[in-house]
Amino acid sequence: MAVEKKWWHNAVVYQIYPRSFMDSNGDGIGDLAGIISKLDYLQQLGINLIWLSPVYRSPMDDNGYDISDYEDIAAEFGTMAEMESLIQQAKQRDIHILMDLVVNHTSDEHPWFLEALKSPDNPYRDFYIWRKPAADGGPPNDFHSYFGGSGWALDEASGEYYLHQFSKRQPDLNWDNPRVQEEVHAMMNRWLAKGIGGFRMDVIDLIGKEVDKQIMANGKNLHALIRQMNRATFGKGDYVTVGEAWSASPQDALLYSAEEREELSMVFQFDHIKSFWDEREGKWRGRPFELGRFKAVIDKWQTALADKGWNSLFWSNHDLPRAVSKFGDEGEYREASAKMLGTALHCLKGTPYIYQGEEIGMTNVRFATIEEYRDIESLNLYQERLAGGMSHEEMMRGIHANGRDNARTPMQWDSGPNAGFTTGTPWIAVNPDYREINVAAALSEPDSILWHYQKLVALRKQHPVLVYGDFQQLFSEHRQVFAWLRTLEDERLLVINNFSADRLTLEIPEAMQAWHGECLISNYAPRDQLAVSIELQPYESFALLLGR
Ligand code: GLC
Ligand code: CA
């Protein structure tokens, strides 16, 4: 059975982290005018959707994921008029904006929370989640915030605690309250009326939480709340919605994304990311990349969502390390491995997401001191883990490997001061490798990662087999090669990726030895046929449209 076709199935999404993308006025902070100035660049890349990380008014405790007004723009990013202009100017280039919908929590400066603080009988009190202290006067239970410390903060005036799964400046909304639902739906409809393309939904799997049972993700009301949101807002039009769901299993993803469920277009799942985390210390004591696990996870998701639902495909985002640093090679094979990762991403089944800078192979940053970091998570957890006995060196290794600021150093536009990101002092230091790795250099080099990405984005529009072809893994036991076949009616696409720095000989099974066709993309000399065996170069990757 085939999924019903949607316009965004062959589209590619580009994620912008506004603070780090382009600064137009020299205050060191990326802004909307900066984004508008780069729309031609994005059009040239060929993307049709932008996921815009939050630009709303915010005290910026978590760089905008703490919103104090959903219907105004943070002054440092610009104005609502500029936001509307961005929506229109993008649309003229056939690019639609996905707004980041952060409604598991607000900022503690949101008027709802300010009202709620006034007294326990304030009409907004029940917009948030309050509990009496435990018998010893401490927090109601031992729930731990993702950003360190208790997930409960004391409101001294009333003696009650409020829940915050992230920082204490990000109080959780009470989604059991119908007034919260109505307010959020109305706000979403006003954004849709401005002409946006849909929403990326921040930690959406947390909104159905059952607090007293300490069930935070995947609570019993979750899917009902999403269906209701769909009916009240984006379900009325042809919008794209992608939910961030760290807790999602493939079965959950089917609930979210199977069409007849009328929930979301797709979700971000994180199995391939979490497979490198330590069971106890999480990302701060990561395991090295191991292809076997990675292949098993991707295979599981490709297979589970083969006939129903839809996958989102991504290697990186603003919370994760840089793709080439995590899954490829930052050194000698940076270009080859970044292209290989791009090919793998665009040749899987689902909608690809490119994180800003990935298209030029930007790498992780390794600041020498904790003071150079800006991310609330890294800073808080550094303190917490050191207090818990972890050494400075080990925690810095964890931050270097997996900290969120890896993805948040400024976009590298050229080899001039501050990588062309700002004429002022950037809010976070530029990665020193910008002199070599930057957009200007990539544009002028016909063989660059950037042009490789541009070609991949275009291929998805030209060849339906990339979009709708069934996925079947090949060489599944191989420890360095990740390969697959995509099949759509009589079209077949063979994709072979060497995920290692080794030159190796791949023995081809007899039934495949005569395969030949048109090489759609490669990162070394193009290949048009297989043989008894093939010699793969380090991180070599190619996609062959098989002829009959
Ligand atoms: C999501 C965002 C992350 C943010 C958190 C709280 O995981 O991607 O950046 O800190 O939610 O809003
Ligand atoms: Ca600025």
Average pLDDT over residues 355-364: 99
Tokens of 505: 């000989």
Partners of 518 in beta bridges: 545
Q: What is the pLDDT of residues 287-301, one digit of tens each?
A: 888 999 999 999 999
| Higher pLDDT, residue 322 or 285 | 322
Average pLDDT over residues 341-350: 98
Report the first-to-last Cα separation within the chain, whole angstroms. Answer: 25
The residue whose CA has the least distance to atom 12 of ligand 1 is: 65
Tokens of 183: 């307010």
- Quote the radius of gyration of the chain (alpha carbons, Å): 23
CA of 373 to the centre of ligand 2 (A): 20
Q: Where are the beta strands (DSSP E) in 384-474?
A: 470-474
Tokens of 358: 């990935």
Ligand 1 site, residue 65, Cβ cutoff 6 A: yes
**What single letter denotes the amino acid at residue 136?**
D
Q: Which is nearest to 339 in space by CA: 501, 251, 451?
A: 451
Ligand closest to Cα of 27 equals: 2
State the catalytic residues: 202, 244
Average pLDDT over residues 89-105: 98
- Planar angle of CA 292, 295, 298, nearest 5 degrees: 150
Q: What is the pLDDT of residues 275-284, one digit of tens each?
A: 888 888 889 9
Ligand 1 site, residue 100, Cβ cutoff 6 A: no
199 vs 297: CA distance, rounded Å? 26
Ligand closest to Cα of 165 equals: 1
**Domains (range + CATH), the chain:** 111-163 (3.90.400.10), 469-546 (2.60.40.1180)
246 vs 248: CA distance, rounded Å? 6
Q: What is the pLDDT of residues 419-458, one digit of tens each?
A: 999 999 999 999 999 999 999 999 999 999 999 999 999 9
| pLDDT greater than 70 at residue 160 | yes
182 vs 188: CA distance, rounded Å? 10
Ligand closest to Cα of 51 equals: 1
Ligand 1 site, residue 319, Cβ cutoff 6 A: yes
CA of 192 to the centre of ligand 1 (A): 22
Ligand 1 site, residue 173, Cβ cutoff 6 A: no
* pTM of structure: 0.98
Tokens of 125: 């009190």
Q: Indicate the average pLDDT of the chain.
A: 97
Ligand 1 site, residue 62, Cβ cutoff 6 A: yes
31 vs 22: CA distance, rounded Å? 6
Residue 26, classified by CB atoms within 10 Å of its CB into exposed (0-12), middle (13-18) or buried (19+), is exposed
Residue 1 has what pLDDT?
A: 52
322 Rama class: left (phi>0) / alpha (psi -120 to 50) / beta:
beta
Q: Which atom of ligand 1 is nearest to the CA of 246?
A: 7
Q: What is the number of other CB atoms lying within 10 angstroms of the CB of residue 383?
A: 13
Q: Which is nearest to 474 in space by CA: 350, 336, 326, 302?
A: 302
Which run of H or of E encompasses 436?
Answer: none
Q: What is the pLDDT of residues 183-229, one digit of tens each?
A: 999 999 999 999 999 999 999 999 999 999 999 999 999 999 999 99
Q: Which atom of ligand 1 is nearest to the CA of 65?
A: 12
Average pLDDT over residues 113-131: 98
CA of 26 to the centre of ligand 2 (A): 6
Strand 312-313: give its sheet, edge to edge: 266-268, 240-244, 198-201, 96-101, 49-52, 13-16, 351-355, 312-313
Ligand 1 site, residue 202, Cβ cutoff 6 A: yes
Q: Which atom of ligand 1 is nearest to the CA of 104?
A: 12
| pLDDT greater than 60 at residue 358 | yes
CA of 382 to the centre of ligand 2 (A): 29
The residue whose CA has the least distance to atom 2 of ligand 1 is: 202
pLDDT band at 285 (very low <50, low <70, confident <90, very high): confident
Q: Which of 314, 319, 381 maximizes ligand 1 atoms within 8 Å of its Cβ, making it the mutation to test the pocket?
A: 319
HSE-CB of 484 using CA atoms within 13 angstroms: 23
Q: Which is nearest to 544 in space by CA: 525, 526, 532, 524?
A: 526
Q: Which atom of ligand 1 is nearest to the CA of 404?
A: 9
16 vs 411: CA distance, rounded Å? 10
Residues 6+ apart with CB under 8 A from 186: none
CA of 241 to the centre of ligand 2 (A): 28
pLDDT band at 2 (very low <50, low <70, confident <90, very high): low
482 vs 469: CA distance, rounded Å? 17
229 vs 147: CA distance, rounded Å? 28
CA of 530 to the centre of ligand 1 (A): 45
**What single letter denotes the amino acid at residue 199?**
F
53 vs 43: CA distance, rounded Å? 19
Average pLDDT over residues 23-31: 98
